[in-house]
A = this chain, B = another copy of it.
Amino acid sequence: MMASVTSMTFVIALYIFMLAAFTGYVVISRVPSILHTPLMSGSNFIHGIIVIGALNALFNATSIAEQAIGFVGVFLGAGNVMGGYVVTDRMLAMFRPSQKAEPARPEQEKPGQEKQGQP
């Protein structure tokens, strides 16, 4: 149905899922709890990529029903993308240290810095 250069077998799909799931896990595992809400809306934004799936379905629609559902799908997906982005951006902008021109305690702002530990 879509580009054959990206077609894959089920086993390969499992590999991709495994890698992606692992990536998601590692990337998030050290987020401080103050950032949970922006992170939630940020990842919400990312799954908005479903809009391109809906777009492809709509482009290939052959009946009124398909067009209607495809239209709804694209509308919802676009909302997810744009809404997720705007909301995340707004929230993160508040965390900008420059906002109050008081760059106080900058060392606390890098919670995950590499630290030489004792064995």
Binding site for B on A (CB under 8 A): 4-12, 15-16, 19-20, 22-23, 26-27, 29-35, 95, 97, 105, 108-112, 114-119
User: A48–B65 Cα gap in the complex (Å)?
Assistant: 54
User: How many copies make up the complex?
Assistant: 2
B22, B35, B114: the one contacting A23 at CB < 8 Å is B22
Closest to A110 in B: B117
User: A113–B26 Cα gap in the complex (Å)?
Assistant: 13
Known interface pairs A22-B23, A23-B22; A114-B32 also in contact (CB < 8 Å):
yes
Contacts of A5 in B (CB 8 A): 9-11
Contacts of A30 in B (CB 8 A): 30, 112, 114
Contact yes or no, B8 A12, CB < 8 A:
yes
User: A100–B78 Cα gap in the complex (Å)?
Assistant: 60
